[in-house]
Structure 1
């Protein structure tokens, strides 16, 4: 876990090339401080009912914390649970684009995805010269947001890290969700645990890992935190519908040293 002095906390991605930095912001700066319920202290979502001016201040604080490492801008999307992904270059869009995946070869551009139970996934090629960031709820995962985002990459992705999302133990879904995945690949049958009420516990981490590996990614790390269960660290929409959003980010560093 890395702390940007007096600003916020995030946990750092592992298993990526040395020039790639990625992480996921946490919901709470200091559990002993007074919390601004339901948004706690570092909500980065503009669409959840929090004060827009306060959210913008937090986004600016995050940018400033990353600037010493060469980050020049944070690239956001209007996330729509889609399979739409974009290539990001040095041109700045006048309006916020709708979609759930970003790819770039530009140094210093931090690709951003907001979550509060959905899967945040970051990806890199072997050389650390091309990266991707995507948001995958169960619908996006089933419909192909991983495949659509990686298809935008011009090089073979090799490394992936999955940030905190809802774990299988806490993610109950209906039979239609299971059917959506098993109809694609019978191997996904093993990623659902039947419950007595006729519903299932779904392992989004395992499904995403299988999809990433099928696309040639040989190293998948992360996927070991639960946004629902870890109340002191993460926002969870399923735990509390009115809540904030974490941001998962990845960028190609313009500096020689990693954040410390």
Structure 2
């Protein structure tokens, strides 16, 4: 299974990764490790892919899979709703697995330096503009100076063309993000999701931000991309913690 693991100074009992296309059983446009159960893939294959993921990562529990709606609702693991409508999930106890699905939108994984809190965030441009990052930081209840954030694979600034209304929505909140938009043909703008997220994090006081280099659109062999392919699969970005003294859980060597 081809996995991307954050290069960040998190404690060793914080486990995090992002999947790619490789390592599953799906076929065709969903080949091979599609983890989304809402994109038209055969349910049995999605279930098998999720089981393979649990085994490969030695997950301590089933991830809390969200019904992502491009908003800014944040939920906690351990709730009673099986698939809550939300775009961010946080965990404050060992063994609870946070996860978000993406195929161009930006996934963020967050933990504190003590490894006591963790969160996964799904951030497309609507979620970013609505404040999903700020809502997650508030729900975590930790000092922003104490947080580590990793930006996973997303559509890159050379491929993400948007209308002027998208640029206006961000400039209305923070005029300083003009550098995150470059003029394109036909009145379009090329938006940099990574830069927009970094601006939001910096305004909130988060200084330790990592990742933000992989473009889903430009690498069809490794990543699903909705903007590129239309009908396609989904990658998962996951984060969880284990007890500091327990080395049995986490990634398998």
Using the size of structure 1 for normalisation, the TM-score is 0.90
- Give the CA deviation at 1:94: 4.6
- Give the CA deviation at 1:197: 1.6
Question: What are structure 2's unaligned runs of at least 5 residues?
Answer: none
2:48 matched to 1:57? yes
Deviations 1:160-188 (A, max 9, x none): 00100000000000100000001111111
Q: Distance in 1 between matches of 2:150 and 2:9?
A: 8
2:158 matched to 1:169? yes
Length, aligned pairs only = 246
DSSP-derived class of the 1:214 partner:
helix
DSSP-derived class of the 2:197 partner:
helix
- Give the CA deviation at 1:212: 1.2
Q: Distance in 2 between matches of 1:13 and 1:22?
A: 7
Indicate how the Cα distance of structure 1 residues 94 and 140 shifts in structure 2: closer, same or farther if over 3 A, else same: closer
Aligned mate of 2:19, from 25, 31, 44: 25
Aligned mate of 2:225, from 206, 212, 236: 236
Q: Distance in 2 between matches of 1:136 and 1:154?
A: 20
Matches within 5 A, 1:1-260: 8-18=1-11, 19-29=13-23, 36-67=27-58, 71-88=60-77, 91=78, 93-157=80-144, 158-254=147-243, 255-256=246-247, 259=251, 260=253
Using the size of structure 2 for normalisation, the TM-score is 0.92
Q: Distance in 2 between matches of 1:95 and 1:71?
A: 17
Q: Distance in 2 between matches of 1:55 and 1:123?
A: 26
Deviations 1:183-233 (A, max 9, x none): 111111111001232111001100101111222222111100000001111
CA contact (8 A) 2:64 2:83 kept: no
- CA RMSD, 1 decimal: 1.8
- Give the CA deviation at 1:256: 3.1
The runs of 4+ residues in structure 1 deviating greater than 4 Å are none
Q: Distance in 2 between matches of 1:45 and 1:54?
A: 10
- Give the CA deviation at 1:64: 2.2
Q: Distance in 2 between matches of 1:95 and 1:124?
A: 23
Q: Select the structure that is richer in helix.
A: 2
Indicate how the Cα distance of structure 1 residues 198 and 94 shifts in structure 2: closer, same or farther if over 3 A, else same: closer
Q: Distance in 1 between matches of 2:185 and 2:57?
A: 48
CA contact (8 A) 1:73 1:108 kept: no
CA contact (8 A) 1:167 1:204 kept: yes
Q: Distance in 1 between matches of 2:32 and 2:128?
A: 29
CA contact (8 A) 2:104 2:155 kept: yes
